[in-house]
Structure 1
């Protein structure tokens, strides 16, 4: 029973280490089909080992069975936990939400942080994917610092054309 408890605790330690050192330990299993969403990823292995150990200990202690039956029950439970961990990890990695792009700025509002002259560029603060990003901005007429503006078009990856918000 002590061996089973040791496996269970070792699996929990492996899970904690794989969480703390996120991508560092994953390289150890890359050649075997590991990786962050592989069947041999560290969370899957940790779940399998923990379930095998704790289920084996419970089977031996509670039911009073032998080592063979406890090992069989542990392997079955470990397989189920490992498979569920793998499926859950793949579902998390397959979010499906596209990364925000600069073209997504068209039609959004922002604030002028450096006044925009009649000819030339000023700066505006916009939010792309929830993060504040400063862009060079061009406008048809001068726009004062602190004014709210709408993005009419994206000129390049670092500049936009804006117009003042009329209220």
Structure 2
């Protein structure tokens, strides 16, 4: 039983070291042989074998077989879960170009040809941008974004 427990503890230690040893074995056998998969296999083979040996009184050969089946199951589940997590993609981050055509309100008055500030919605959040306009725009007026020359400034025109 000590061999099985030692194998299981080795798997748990490898799993705990995975963040430190990130990238070891990655890409070998097209992702099947990654460190979390190996750690899961070792841990479940050891603990599954110890459980089978301790509860059924079966011999070491049968306990090793039971542990191996448990280990393969854990390795497969670890592989599938890690692939699902790697494939998970969030929404595309909003960019300045996404502002063109949106409306907002003037926070600081914009003089003709000078800079003021507008409040726009970017990714569902209110964001303040430096704004230029060809004509003067008063504070509180509604404006449309015509261009986004930089990540922090926009060119606007008054609505109406």
Task: Say yes or no: TM over 0.5.
Answer: yes
Whether 1:50 aligns to 2:50 is no
CA 1:79–1:123: 2 relative to 1, 3 Å:
farther
Aligned to 2:55, the other structure's residue is in SS state: helix
Q: Which runs of 5+ in 1 are unaligned?
A: none
CA distance in 1, matches of 2:9, 2:119: 50
Query: Larger radius of gyration, structure 1 or 2?
Result: 2
**In structure 2, what is the Cα distance between the partners aligned to 1:162 and 1:17?**
53
Local SS of the residue matching 2:145:
strand
Counterpart in 1 of 2:113? 119
SS in 2 for 1:26: coil
**1:26 to 2:22 alignment:** yes
Q: Distance in 2 between matches of 1:149 and 1:43?
A: 54
The structure 1 segments of at least 4 consecutive aligned residues displaced by more than 2 Å after TM superposition are 30-34, 96-99, 103-118, 120-144, 147-154, 159-165
Residue 2 (structure 1) aligns with: 2
How many residue pairs end up in the alignment? 157
1:60 to partner: Cα distance: 0.6
**Could you tell me which residue of structure 2 aligns to residue 138 of structure 1?**
132
**Residue 67 of structure 2: aligned partner:** 74
Instruction: Name the SS of the counterpart of 2:32 in structure 1.
Output: coil
CA shift for structure 1 position 142: 3.6
Contact in 2 for aligned 1:7/1:50 (Cα 8 Å): yes
Q: Is the 8 A contact 2:53 2:60 kept in 1?
A: yes
Q: So what's the TM-score if we normalise by structure 2?
A: 0.72
Q: Flag structure 2 segments of 5+ consecutive residues without an equivalent.
A: none
* TM-score, normalised relative to structure 1: 0.69
Larger deviation, residues 95-104 vs 49-58 = 95-104
Contact 1:105 1:151 in 2 (8 A): no
Please give the alpha-carbon distance, in whole angstroms, between the structure 1 residues aligned to 2:103 and 2:51: 60
1:3-47, Cα deviation, whole Å (9 max, x unpaired): 1111212212222222xx2xx51332136247xxx2122221111
User: For residues 57-104 of structure 1, what are the alpha-carbon distances to aligned partners after superposition, in whole Å with 9 as ceiling and x for unaligned?
Assistant: 001101111221111111111111111111111111212434213134
CA contact (8 A) 2:99 2:148 kept: no
Residue 100 (structure 1) aligns with:
93
